[in-house]
Chain A
Amino acid sequence: MEQVIQHSNPQSWYLVLSTILFSIGVMGVLFRRNAIIILMCIELMLNSVNILLVSFSAYAGNSEGQVFVFFIMVVAAAEVAVGLALLVSIFRNTASTDINVLSKLKW
């Protein structure tokens, strides 16, 4: 494949970008009450870590980081499948996906 870009940016930009994305994901997990949106915010945090790993791998010239990102994607796919199955099962029992309904384990 041909080179897509000819000039590369400083790596600290990618660090800042992934930090901002991770913080947005944390914010969403903290204040949203819908379980599907919380799952999506977890995906956002996983993706910010992926950007960080890919940037370190690309700048260090070592492709092992990208293999790790591949495995993270695999685990994220499995996690979303199981999480959505759990959500469907919860929705069948409580008729909502609000996490405030599921407070029986809260002390």
Chain B
Amino acid sequence: MSSQILFFILASLTIVSALFVVFSKSPIYSVMWMIFCFFTIAGHYVMLNAQFLAIVHVIVYAGAIMVLLLFTVMLLNLNKESEPHKSPLPKFAAIITGGLLMLVLLAAMHSSTLPEYSSPAFSDVGYVQKVGTKIFTEFLLPFEMTSVLFIAAMIGSVVLAKKDKN
């Protein structure tokens, strides 16, 4: 019973903070709400017994990605309402489009049947040992390839953000 209440609190916090990310005027508030949203998503991972991913999510998203975004927002001096006032037509169109997409996806899920799975409360698939064994045996080659991807991303971002000579 308590896990249902916990789920509803966490889910409503996630959705409300995601809405604040989209609708707040200043980019700095968007980034702050995004950090909060990521913490609630980490809470969902904990509720699904995916403890490795919860820790990695907090470290990678709240610790690395959002700091990078915050640095960029402050570096570019965007912490004011930079968007010009425009007609509300695109906003309404976007809200209607998003709502319709949600409707279609929910209808598709409603008409499909989920297989009868076991409860994740007592399974150990999300523990560090299980996921780590999987990564370092079966997915060893993709795991090593991510280092190549990171090298490419690092070099690419340095080249892109470097100041031009002329």
Across the interface, which residues of B come within 8 angstroms of A34, CB to CB? 27, 78, 82-83
Q: Which residue of A lies closest to B43 (CB)?
A: A4
Alpha-carbon separation in the docked complex, A74 to B125 (Å): 20
- Asked whether A67 lies within 8 Å of B78 as measured between CB atoms, the reply is no
Alpha-carbon separation in the docked complex, A8 to B118 (Å): 10
Q: Does B65 contact A (CB under 8 A)?
A: yes
Q: Which residue of A lies closest to B1 (CB)?
A: A7
Across the interface, which residues of A come within 8 angstroms of B126, CB to CB? 54, 57-58, 63, 66
Interface of B is mostly: helix
- Asked whether B41 lies within 8 Å of A47 as measured between CB atoms, the reply is yes
19 chain-A/chain-B pairs, Cβ below 8 angstroms: A1-B51, A3-B122, A5-B121, A24-B21, A24-B22, A24-B98, A26-B98, A31-B95, A32-B22, A39-B69, A40-B31, A41-B21, A51-B44, A61-B117, A66-B126, A67-B135, A78-B153, A85-B158, A88-B72
Residues on A lying within 8 angstroms of B by beta carbon are 1, 3-9, 11-17, 19-28, 30-34, 36-37, 39-41, 43-44, 47, 50-51, 54-55, 57-64, 66-67, 69-71, 73-82, 84-89, 91-92, 96-98
16 further contact pairs, Cβ within 8 A, besides A21-B14, A36-B72, A58-B125:
A3-B49, A4-B47, A8-B48, A15-B114, A30-B98, A31-B91, A31-B95, A40-B31, A57-B50, A63-B134, A66-B125, A76-B60, A77-B150, A77-B153, A78-B153, A82-B156
